[in-house]
Structure formats: C-alpha cells, structure tokens
Chain A
Amino acid sequence: MKSDALRGHLDALLLATLDGGQLHGYAIIEALQRRSGGALDLPTGTVYPALRRLETAGLVASEWSTVGGRQRRTYRLTKAGQRALAAERTAWREFTTAIEGVLGGGPWPAQT
C-alpha cells in the first residue's frame, strides 16, 4: 500500500497503535507493519514528525525513558487522544459500511 494513500489515515493508525499502551518510535513502526501484515509501506522517517504533531495537538504525550537498557522517547495516548481514536473508529466503520455497500459486489437492493 503506497504512502500517499496512507497519509490521510496516518494519524488514526498511530493513535490505534498506541491504544495498547506506551511504545517507543520504532516499536510503533513495527506494530504498524505487523498489524497490517506488512502492507503499510511508508517511509519510517515520516512517522516521527506525525507523532510530534499529534503531541502538539495534545493527542499523545511523550517522554524519554529507559527501554531495553537504552534511552528512548516513548509515546502514549492522552485522554483527548483516546476520544479522538474512538471518533476515528466510528467514522471509519461508517465509511467502510457505506463503501462496502457499493463496491462489495453483493446484489443491489430492489428499487421501490
């Protein structure tokens, strides 16, 4: 999947990745690739500016901490980030339901 197609969804993907708890940057990238079955193909260098922008927006918080014996910047969802993620998930389900209805290939509903 190309990065241009992902760019509009990157914020939501990052928020979803942090839903399970705090992670450092490369762990976020690995989780994105693992959960997408390796289909998410975007320059890893674009993930960090996106995380910092989410931090500016108050949706994630970060701090330097020791992970695996090394100093790393770790990120976690804020309360506002959790609310934003819930809203993104609702919007995504509505979107996919609507698109599936048209592109899914099932029988068209009878016209009344």
Chain B
Amino acid sequence: MAGADVIDDYVTALDRRLRGPDPVKGDLLAEARDSLHDAAAAHRDRGLGEEAAQRRAVAEFGPVTAIAREYQGLLGLAYGARTLRSVMLVVPLAYVMWELNRKFWIGAWNDFDAPPPDWYLTIARLNDDAAWFVAGAAVLALLVGRRLARTTVSTVTLARLAGVVAVVAVGVSLLGNVAILAATAYLDAARLLMSPPVAGATVVSFVIALRLAVLARRCVAFSSV
C-alpha cells in the first residue's frame, strides 16, 4: 500500500537529520510516529483515504527541516545535560580516588628531598581546586539551564550553552592534569613512577579526562543546527 509509506518516509527523513544519544532520539521519533498515526487515523475517520490521511498528517506536523531543528535542539540539550552530570560526578570522584591512592601507596606528597618550589605548589593547589571548580561549574550550569528552560530561550541556545560550559570545564580539568604531570616530571621525574598503583591511577585519570573531552566535543557537535 503506497500510502502506508508516507509516515515512515517522513520519520526516516527526520531520523537522518538528527544526531544525538540513541535512547533519547528513539524516544522522540517513536512519539512523533505515534502522533502522525493518531493524526492520520483522525483524518481517516473524517473520510480521507489512507494515503491522503497520512499526507495530511505529515503536512500538519511541519516541514521536516524545521521540525528537525527543534528536535536537534532537544537532543543537544539532553546530551549536554548528561555530560554536565558526568563532569559533576566523575571529575571530583577521579580526583578523590587519585588522592586516596597516593596517600595509601606513597604517603605525604610534600616529602621531597628539598621543599618543592613555590611555582610547583601553586600548580598543585590550582590542580586541586580545579576539580571542585569544574564540578561547581557543572552544577551551576545545570541549575541555570533548568531556570532558563522556563523562559523563551530556545533549546538550541541552551544546548550550545551546555556545550560551551562542558568544553571549558573539561578543558580546565585536563589542563590541570597535564600541568601537574609536566611540573612533577620537570621537578622529579622518578616520582611519576615510584608507585605503580599511583602511576596506574594517573593513567586512569587521564583516560577519564580524555573521555570527558570526547563527550564535551560531541555536545558542541550535537548543538550545531
């Protein structure tokens, strides 16, 4: 039946234009398909044939390019919120796990042969603070985003804001990790490998930071309409 393909074609065209987390995308498309079938059924009840009813339902739903823009904003926002929640939880957790690991296997970090220079202590302190700053920024962004969603600010704009915050937050976290690693290597490279469990925890921390960087990058990509 030729008419039976009109809704499927529309949903497929919408699907092709959307990028984002599969569960959210699948949920949105299932709801859109349901609505189109409901509308087509209503038009059939008013006397239209199958194909005409589906064409009317699709026309009322809106041009696929315009509707895709609205749906893409939602997908970008969903991904942005998910990434910010990950940043909020994972960054401080990774920091605390690394610190506990270091305290257990190495002990007091200040126990150098000579006291570390002020610049090293500054970098260490900034790296410590970065984890909490990044988590705080993610929490704040989620709260502000929830408030802005009650205004006329579009989901596309909200998704872009979430993407920017995620990129900056993850960038600060990654920069802190790289800075303390480079500073330690410069000051006393042997310290990086003095405890295999701590070296392993450092590698895990970097893998986590890089993974978050990938998520933040996707936030920006998914919010681009």
A interface with B by C-beta (< 8 Å): 8, 24-26, 29-30, 43-46, 48-49, 52-54, 56-59, 70-73, 84
The answer for the CA separation of A95 and B56 in the assembled complex, in Å, is: 36
Q: Which of A8, A45, A84 contacts B61 (CB 8 A)?
A: A45
Nearest-neighbor residue (CB-CB) of A10 within chain B: B152
Q: Which residues of A contact B62 (CB under 8 A)?
A: 43-46
> Which 10 residue pairs spanning A and B have beta carbons closest together?
A43-B62, A57-B149, A26-B38, A45-B67, A49-B70, A45-B62, A45-B61, A57-B150, A56-B149, A26-B35
Check B71 for interface membership: any CB of A closer than 8 A: yes
B 25-60 to A, binary, CB cutoff 8 A, 1 in contact else 0: 001100110110011001000000000000000001
CB pairs A–B below 8 angstroms (6 shown): A25-B35, A26-B39, A29-B35, A48-B28, A52-B74, A54-B149
Cβ B39 vs Cβ A43 within 8 A: no
Cβ A44 vs Cβ B39 within 8 A: yes
Check B166 for interface membership: any CB of A closer than 8 A: no
Nearest-neighbor residue (CB-CB) of B81 within chain A: A56
Q: Which residues of B contact A29 (CB under 8 A)?
A: 35, 39
Cβ A8 vs Cβ B152 within 8 A: yes
Q: Which residues of B contact A57 (CB under 8 A)?
A: 146-147, 149-150
B interface with A by C-beta (< 8 Å): 27-28, 31-32, 34-35, 38-39, 42, 60-63, 66-67, 70-71, 73-74, 77, 81, 145-147, 149-150, 152, 155, 158
Cβ B74 vs Cβ A44 within 8 A: no
Cβ B35 vs Cβ A84 within 8 A: no
Cβ A53 vs Cβ B155 within 8 A: yes
The answer for the CA separation of A57 and B153 in the assembled complex, in Å, is: 11
Q: Which residues of B contact A52 (CB under 8 A)?
A: 28, 74, 155
Q: Which residues of B contact A49 (CB under 8 A)?
A: 70-71, 73-74, 155
Question: Distance (Å) between the CB of B50 and the closest chain A CB?
Answer: 18
